[in-house]
């Protein structure tokens, strides 16, 4: 060590050595400035390689030898890889990240990832000063960037995305992780109760979130829960996206239902479709509409039917019958080709395009009788509206192939029921074509119906020109199915549809009831009639 | 190597400060040529008008850009290298060393960063020019040949390996049907080793004609046409008694 004395500068010289034979490999452990890591505070540290990537590389699960193994499997696999040019990167233990644990279990954890390209163009050396004053330079073998690992719980990617979408609404950010923790607790507890709990929690969550509009969603959800399949609530009630979907669906359904109900309730605007211009080519469009609308409401109806088995069935069926009858009546009155639309209403599962109302009669009613479960949505007033507008004036007489086929298939059943249920005008003929023609003619001109038809034992054919008749048979049917009050019965045979005045209806109904002599039962302080077959 | 090694924290305890110096490649190459003792040069740390100045000067013998001892006068590695010093800033950098014998130990923390820069002069420029030329050379080279290479592939009536193959086949001869029992024994011992076999492999092992072998296999085994082990034969359940590996281990230990 020589020192040169100089007035303004003082230099000291040191020898630099680069030791040759060290077995030690020097590496840099770099921390982020913001983490404020101070190595002097460490009392204890452990470091090991993170070998978790090894499984990705060495995934040979097939047992070697004996059971389950194939002869020459390895070679075949290798050959296959070579053929396809699959190059798997070797798992190099040297390049794996480090895991550094400081101050034991409760202390910090760091993950050190190797930085690439450090030794490519320039070499780094560590200059340390030895006790003898000389410098020793060691080459740096690798550079690892150490980052602290979070011990607290974090959101997953999906959850984070979700929260991001709600960032404008959520005020209380602390609740986010709280909810998640609570959710995780439940998940561990009981799978079945999950749905309920999550429902409750959501409510809580909904309340906790300031300004969050969840409450309304939840209400909808709760309403819908009885209607929707339970799985939608139970399965993953936790994930809000699912909830959102549900609410979306629920809302849509609700709307649909509302619209359906409203449209069904609002009585047909008979004269609405009179002056409308119609495309002759519009068949497809309406038929397209129909199935679509059919499907969602069908979906809606089916679970409903399952949940509240008999009651709803009966009700809806009766409603449906009413609708049928209503439509049939309409046709007569309007003299339009609304048979088509009625047809469509009736035969949603089959085609949407049949013309003859005659067939529709039988088929519809057979359908209703036979296929009880197939709830062709009677509430789909919307479909009717659009169909009606497009249908009126559409080709009257062309028998569509579909109707023929369906009529053929149902003819056996139809013929049986024909006697009992035949309320149509025109003579009973077997050939569909003839039937249809007859219907056409009859529909074109409001013809007094039904009397000429070989009426069944029911006998009481009312002098109505509609297809809905206040017959004993009809009343019997209703009463067999469900106990009803007189009021209900009257509702079924609405004056508009039967063509009778209210007085007449009452009289006829009274006579029928006398004849049937149904049994009485008091339900809710009201006298109900019913029949047992 | 080391699973969960305790890190020797002696370096940080003593607050040993080290310098991290970035050294150009050529210089480190020269350093590699140093003698056993390892002396490569000298550092002078001086204070010039208040500023700390660090210079490194390479030993004379290492300045030659050729093998040591060979005085290649054409190019010389520059001698003087002033260091540009930086402070570490906020970033904490520690140095840890890994050795096979002693495990992992923390050597110290970096207190200064430095870059070793040569003094720029003509010599250096020449050196750099050379380096650039070297690196600009493409790794692969297309070269036009004057004459076609005739040494490698010659037209041959029958290739060597093909000839050998046919000879081998001839010597082995046709596969003869052995006794049924013998074949069964062979098959059973084969299936003891592996569960699924390809028919080709079985033919290989047993040296039996395919039809005969298939016949026997149909008797004792089933053919998997679908599933994980496609188109393989395995023994029928009643003939096999495989134990899982764990069970076998247990049996061994007990």
Yes or no, beta carbons of B194 and A66 under 8 Å apart: yes
Q: Contact at 8 Å (CB) between B99 and A25? A: yes
Q: Which residues of B touch A65 (CB under 8 A)?
A: 193-194
Chain A contact set for B195 (CB, 8 A): 66-70
pLDDT (0 to 100) of residue A484? 86
Instruction: State which residue of chain B sits closest to A143, comparing Cα positions.
Output: B95
The stretch A123-135 carries a mean pLDDT of: 89
Mean pLDDT, residues A11-25: 86
Query: Residue A318's closest CA among A280, A285, A365, A271?
Result: A365
Instruction: Using CB atoms, pick whichever of A15, A40, A65 lies closest to residue B193.
Output: A65
Taking the C-alpha atoms of A302, A304, A310 and A315 in order, what is their torsion angle to the nearest 10 degrees?
-100
pLDDT at A70 over 80: no
Question: pLDDT tens digit string along A199-234?
Answer: 444 444 444 444 444 444 444 445 444 444 444 444
pLDDT in the model for residue A378: 46
Confidence label for B21 from pLDDT (cuts 50, 70 and 90)? very high
Question: What pLDDT score does A385 carry?
Answer: 41
pLDDT, mean of residues A473-493: 86
Asked if A46 is an interface residue toward chain B (Cβ–Cβ < 8 A), one would say yes
Q: Is the pLDDT assigned to residue A478 strictly greater than 70?
A: yes
**Phi-psi group of B150: left, alpha or beta (phi > 0 → left; psi -120 to 50 → alpha; rest → beta):** alpha
Q: What is the mean pLDDT of residues A373-380?
A: 46
* Selected residue of B14, B26, B95, B234 to mutate for chain A interface (largest A Cβ count, 10 A): B95
Question: Looking at per-residue confidence, does B156 or A377 come out higher?
Answer: B156
Q: Give the residue-averaged pLDDT of B205-213.
A: 87
Closest among B181, B232, B207, B189 to A66, alpha carbons compared:
B189
- Whole-angstrom Cα distance, residue B40 to residue B61? 9
- % of chain B with per-residue pLDDT over 90: 7
Kindly tell me if the per-residue pLDDT of A23 is higher than 80.
yes
Decide if pLDDT at A349 tops 70: no
Which of A123, A130, A147 has the most B C-beta neighbours within 10 Å, making it the best mutation to test the interface with B? Answer: A123
Least confident of A14-18, B37-41, B246-250: B246-250
| Lowest pLDDT segment from A189-203, A471-485, B175-189 | A189-203
- B184 burial type by CB count under 10 A (0-12 exposed, 13-18 middle, 19+ buried): middle
Gap from B146 CA to chain A (nearest CA, Å):
35
Residues sharing a CB contact under 8 Å with residue B247, sequence separation 6 or more, in sequence order? none
Is there a contact between B243 and A45 if contact means CB atoms under 8 Å apart? no
Which residues of chain A make contact with B19, given a CB cutoff of 8 A? 126-128
Query: Chain A window 112-131: which residues touch B at a Cβ cutoff of 8 Å?
Result: 121-128
Task: For residue A108, list chain B residues with Cβ-Cβ distance below 8 A.
Answer: none
Say yes or no to pLDDT of B220 above 60.
yes
Query: Buried b / exposed e across A31-66, counting CB within 10 Å, b at 16+?
Result: beeeeebebeebeebbbbbeeeeeeeeeeeeeeeeb
Specify the length of chain A in residues: 533
Nearest to A49 by CA among A94, A104, A108: A94
CB contact under 8 A, B93 and A31: yes
Statement: residue A288 has pLDDT above 50: no
| Residue showing tokens 């002696």 | B10
Best-predicted range by mean pLDDT (A280-284, A300-304, A323-327, A469-473) = A469-473
Selected for mutation to probe chain A from B10, B16, B18 (highest A CB count within 10 Å) is B18
Q: What is the pLDDT of residue A452?
A: 42
Long-range contacts made by residues B151-154, C-beta under 8 angstroms, separation at least 24? none
Give the pLDDT mean for B43-71.
76
Strand partners, A30: A145, B93
Percentage of chain A exceeding pLDDT 70: 44
User: A221 or A101, which is more confident?
Assistant: A101
pLDDT of residue B246: 43
Helices (H), A109-213: 157-165, 174-189, 194-208
- Work out the pLDDT band at A419, boundaries 50, 70, 90: low
pLDDT in tens, A77-90: 889 889 999 887 88
Q: What percent of chain B has pLDDT over 70?
A: 89
* Segment B86-104, tens digit of pLDDT: 888 888 888 888 888 778 8
Q: Is A20 within 8 Å of B22 when comparing Cβ atoms?
A: no
C-beta atoms of A48 and B4 within 8 A: yes
Which of B25, B34, B245 lies nearest to residue A122, judging by beta carbons?
A: B25
* Alpha helices, DSSP H, located in A20-88: 54-57, 73-84
pLDDT number for residue A299: 45
* Range from A95-109, B11-25, B70-84, B181-195 carrying the lowest mean pLDDT: B70-84
Query: How far off is chain B from A144, nearest CA to CA, in Å?
Result: 10
More confident of the two residues A472 and A336: A472
| CB contact at 8 A, A140 and B29 | no
Give the containing element (helix H, strand E) for A319: helix A309-334
A448 touches chain B (CB under 8 A): no
Of A9, A24, A63, the CB nearest to B48: A9
Contact across the interface for B43 and A13, Cβ inside 8 Å: yes
Q: Which chain A positions have a beta carbon within 8 Å of B25's beta carbon?
A: 121-123
Burial label for A14, CB within 10 Å (0-12, 13-18, 19+), is buried
Element (H, E) at A148: strand A135-148
Comparing alpha-carbon positions, the chain B residue that sits nearest to A135 is B43
pLDDT digits (tens, 9 = 90+) for A294-335: 444 444 444 444 545 455 445 555 555 555 454 444 444 444
B44:A37 CB<8 A: no
Radius of gyration of chain B (CA): 36
Is the pTM higher than 0.80? The answer reads no
Give the per-residue pLDDT at A418: 65
Q: What is the distance between the alpha carbons of residues A407 and A400, in angstroms, rounded to a whole number? A: 11
Instruction: Find all residues with CB under 8 Å of A528, minimum gap 6, and list them.
Output: A483, A484, A485, A520, A521, A522
Band of pLDDT at residue B158, cut at 50, 70 and 90? confident
Candidate from B91, B109, B196 with C-beta closest to A70: B196
- Which positions in chain B touch A31 (Cβ < 8 Å)? 91-94
Q: What is the mean pLDDT of chain B?
A: 82
Q: How far is the alpha carbon of B144 from chain A, nearest alpha carbon, in Å?
A: 30
Q: Write the CB contacts of A123 (distance below 8 Å, at least 6 apart in sequence).
A: A139, A140, B22, B23, B24, B25, B28
Chain centre distance of CA B210:
44
Between chains, do A121 and B25 touch, taking CB under 8 Å as contact?
Answer: yes
A42 to chain B, any CB pair closer than 8 A? The answer is: yes
> Over pLDDT 90: what percentage of chain A?
6
A371 interface with B at CB cutoff 8 Å: no
Give the span between the Cα atoms of A138 and A459, in whole angstroms.
Answer: 114
**For B42, which of A13, A43, A125 is closest by C-beta distance?**
A13
ipTM at complex level = 0.72
The whole-chain average pLDDT of chain A stands at: 65
Q: How would residue A416 be classed by pLDDT, with cut points 50, 70 and 90?
A: low
DSSP secondary structure, A385-451, as one string: HHHHHHHTTS-SS---HHHHHHHHHHHHHHHHHHHHH---SS---S-HHHHHHHHHHHHHTT---SS
Say what the pLDDT of residue B129 is: 92
Residues B29-42 have pLDDT tens digits of 888 888 778 788 88
Binned at pLDDT 50, 70 and 90, residue A143 comes out as very high
Which residue of A105, A107, A125, A133 to mutate against B (max B Cβ within 10 Å)? A125
Model confidence at A190, pLDDT cuts 50, 70, 90, reads low
Q: Which is higher by pLDDT, A204 or B187?
A: B187
Residue of chain A nearest B26, judged by CA positions? A122
pLDDT score, position A227: 45
Left if phi > 0, otherwise alpha if psi is -120 to 50, otherwise beta: which for A104? left
Q: What is the mean pLDDT of residues B131-150?
A: 89
Of B12, B47, B196, the CB nearest to A39: B12
The least confident of A30-44, A75-89, A410-424 is A410-424
Distance in Å, alpha carbon of B28 to nearest chain A alpha carbon: 7
């Amino acid at each position: 060590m020589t020192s040169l004395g100089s007035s303004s500068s003082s230099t000291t010289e040191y020898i630099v050595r680069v030791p040759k034979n060290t077995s030690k490999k020097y590496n840099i452990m770099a921390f982020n400035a913001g983490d404020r890591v101070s190595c002097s505070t460490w009392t204890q540290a452990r470091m090991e390689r993170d070998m978790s990537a090894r499984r990705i590389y060495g995934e040979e699960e097939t047992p070697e030898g004996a059971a389950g193994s194939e002869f020459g499997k390895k070679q075949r696999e290798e050959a296959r890889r070579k053929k396809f040019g699959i190059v798997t990167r070797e798992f190099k233990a040297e390049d794996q990240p480090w895991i550094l644990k400081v101050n034991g279990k409760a202390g910090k954890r760091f993950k050190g990832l190797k930085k690439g390209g450090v030794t490519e163009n320039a070499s780094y050396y560590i200059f340390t000063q030895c006790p003898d004053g000389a410098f020793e330079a060691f080459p740096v073998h690798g550079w690892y960037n150490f980052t602290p690992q979070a011990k607290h719980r974090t959101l997953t990617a999906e959850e984070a995305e979700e929260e991001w979408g709600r960032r404008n609404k959520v005020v209380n950010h602390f609740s986010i992780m709280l909810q998640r923790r609570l959710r995780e607790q439940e998940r561990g507890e009981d799978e079945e109760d999950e749905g309920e709990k999550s429902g409750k929690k959501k409510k809580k969550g909904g309340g906790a979130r300031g300004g969050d509009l969840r409450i309304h969603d939840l209400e909808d959800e709760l309403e819908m829960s009885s209607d929707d399949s339970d799985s939608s609530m139970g399965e993953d009630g936790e994930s809000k996206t699912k909830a959102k979907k549900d609410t979306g669906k629920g809302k849509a359904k609700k709307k649909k239902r509302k619209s359906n109900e409203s449209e069904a309730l609002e009585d047909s605007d008979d004269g609405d479709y009179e002056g409308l211009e119609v495309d002759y080519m519009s068949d497809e469009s309406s038929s397209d509409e129909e199935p679509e609308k059919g499907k969602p409401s069908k979906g809606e109806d089916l679970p409903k039917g399952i949940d509240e088995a008999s009651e709803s069935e009966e009700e809806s069926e009766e409603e449906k019958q009413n609708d049928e009858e209503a439509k049939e009546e309409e046709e007569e009155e309007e003299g339009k080709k609304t048979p088509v639309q009625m047809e469509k209403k009736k035969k949603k599962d089959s085609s949407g395009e049949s013309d003859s109302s005659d067939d529709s009669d039988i088929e519809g009613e057979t359908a209703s009788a036979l296929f009880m479960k197939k709830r062709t949505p009677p509430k789909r007033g919307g479909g009717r509206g659009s169909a009606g507008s497009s249908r009126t004036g559409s080709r009257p007489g062309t028998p569509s192939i579909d109707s023929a086929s369906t009529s053929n298939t149902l003819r056996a059943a139809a013929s049986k029921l024909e006697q009992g249920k035949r309320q149509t005008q025109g003579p009973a003929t077997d050939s569909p074509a003839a039937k249809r023609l007859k219907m056409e003619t009859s529909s074109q001109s409001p013809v007094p119906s039904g009397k000429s038809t070989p009426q069944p034992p029911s006998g009481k054919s009312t002098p109505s020109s509609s297809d809905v008749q206040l017959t004993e048979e009809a009343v019997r049917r209703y009463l067999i199915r469900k106990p009803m009050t007189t009021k209900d019965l009257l509702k079924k045979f609405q004056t508009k549809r039967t063509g009778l005045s209210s007085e007449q209806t009452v009289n006829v109904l009274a006579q029928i009831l006398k004849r049937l002599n149904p049994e009485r039962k008091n339900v809710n302080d009201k006298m109900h009639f019913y029949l047992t077959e | 190597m080391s699973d969960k090694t305790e890190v020797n924290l002696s370096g940080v305890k003593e607050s040993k400060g080290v310098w991290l110096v970035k050294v150009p490649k050529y210089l480190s190459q020269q350093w590699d040529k140093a003698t056993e003792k390892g002396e490569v040069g000298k550092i002078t740390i001086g204070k010039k008008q208040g500023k700390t100045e660090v210079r490194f000067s390479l030993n004379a013998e290492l300045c030659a850009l050729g093998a040591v001892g060979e005085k290649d006068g054409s190019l010389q590695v520059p001698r003087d290298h002033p260091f540009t010093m930086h402070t570490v800033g906020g970033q904490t950098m520690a140095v840890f060393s890994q050795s096979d014998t002693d495990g992992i130990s923390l050597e110290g923390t970096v207190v200064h960063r430095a870059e070793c820069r040569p003094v720029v002069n003509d010599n250096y420029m020449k050196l750099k020019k050379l380096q650039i030329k070297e690196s600009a050379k493409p790794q692969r080279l297309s070269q036009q040949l004057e004459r076609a290479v005739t040494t490698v592939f010659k037209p041959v009536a029958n290739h060597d390996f093909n000839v050998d193959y046919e000879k081998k086949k001839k010597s082995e001869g046709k596969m003869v049907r052995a006794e049924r029992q013998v074949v069964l024994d062979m098959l059973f011992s084969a299936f003891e080793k592996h569960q699924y076999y390809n028919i080709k492999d079985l033919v290989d092992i047993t040296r039996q004609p395919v039809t005969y072998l298939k016949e026997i296999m149909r008797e004792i085994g089933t053919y998997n046409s679908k599933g994980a082990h496609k188109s393989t034969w395995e023994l029928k359940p009643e003939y096999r008694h495989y134990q899982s590996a764990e069970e076998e281990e247990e049996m061994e230990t007990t």
